[in-house]
Structure 1
């Protein structure tokens, strides 16, 4: 399958997801992908977003793990959504394969959720832990969030890669750990700005009250645009 390339990195597929408005005039759910390296807090971010937004919007989640359903089981144990709104995909290969190269299993999971528990406003698709090159196919999601964390080092934004440079929102998580791991948050902000230009960056500390607020506010803005944009 053909991939576009930008600055030597694999980019998301050029084809787009299904049209926002179906033939019967109803609008499908906004699909947002969350990717990033192992341990950065992707599942915790998904959980926090569900807790904050579930009273405002109809939400479902698709998780990706290579050989297990651990992330989905965590979300179910935490009761962030009714269990039927959380579906697991076992990729059996590197996570980027199922979110960028062969999206069929994820796309089927999303579409099945819309049919079984819809109508939905938002579907969050969480990738398994991957590296800085991980991106989502545009055929699967409408926007993507890339999560890094301070424990990975303050050079991560400077290293770039398409996850950092092209994601619609870059999240720098675990900012409360910065003093303990010798990370300069201001430096990370400058490096992210240099890599991303005007694309937004959110700094989060999910253990703190309202720690996910910058990401939740961004998601709300995406949903507002999604529901009001001309078909």
Structure 2
């Protein structure tokens, strides 16, 4: 389900995260950060994006967990990418720290992936389970996706928070559960539009065939914009 946004060029919050070229002069990968509350479907969205795009793009993933490799292991079990294209960062603290404050571990993981399996077109950096205040440092992510789900309550878009209001793309996931949890998708759409203005919002159900398509479409648009920036 799409809102009635018919963008061909999506609004952009971030400037690009630092230089577009690697030290050897080659173009570095576009880095897209995915954040959102625990259980919203961030890892499932990453997995679905990898399946949808891996035949056309060179992709790698960096996951963040506080003390485990659980998200990385999920991606490995589901064989969404070869193992060498998935890296795990154990933050040891609040997930916000590793994606917003001290991003060194994530940057090191990204750079190592580019060195070992590059050249890469796209690196997806998934935050650990966080809350509505989570944002990615502009030094780490070129664009940010924020994932919420209908089971968390249809008042989440109205509550706002930096993740909801400023992410380059807001994903409202698990729409198939709306009838069972009493969530009003129309209300969520209206509230999201009030909070975000022209920034895009998509509604997804990853249990549906090609349910990640609107997110994949947005990623392709960002990649096209990235390719147009001089290295």
**TM-score of the pair, normalised by structure 1:** 0.92
Moved over 6 A (4+): 12-15
Change (3 A) 1:90 1:131: same
Aligned residues of 2:14 and 2:143 also touching (Cα < 8 A)? no
User: CA separation of 1:39/1:76 partners in 2, compared to 1, >3 Å: closer, same or farther?
Assistant: same
Q: Which has the higher contact order (CA 8 A, sep 6+)?
A: 2
User: Residue deviations 1:21-79, cap 9 Å, x none?
Assistant: 24544210000000000000000000000000000000000000000000001100100
SS at match of 1:61: strand
Give the secondary structure class of the aligned counterpart of 1:80: coil
Equivalent residue for 2:85? 85
Gaps of 5+ in 2: 1-12
SS at match of 2:45: helix
Aligned-residue offset at 1:229: 2.5
Q: What's 1:139 paired with?
A: 139
Q: Is the 8 A contact 1:13 1:139 kept in 2?
A: no
Classify 1:173/1:13 alpha carbon distance in 2 versus 1 (closer, same or farther; 3 Å): closer
Question: Which secondary structure state, in structure 1, belongs to the residue aligned with residue 87 of structure 2?
Answer: strand
Give the direction of change, closer, same or farther, for the CA distance of 1:21–1:13 in structure 2 (3 Å limit). closer
For 2:14 and 2:184, the matched residues in 1 are separated by 34
For this pair of structures, how many residues does the alignment match?
219
| RMSD (Å) for aligned C-alpha atoms | 1.5
Give 1:59-78 correspondences, 5 Å limit.
59-78=59-78
2:215: which partner in 1?
215
1:177 match: secondary structure: helix
Unaligned runs of 5+ in 1: 1-11
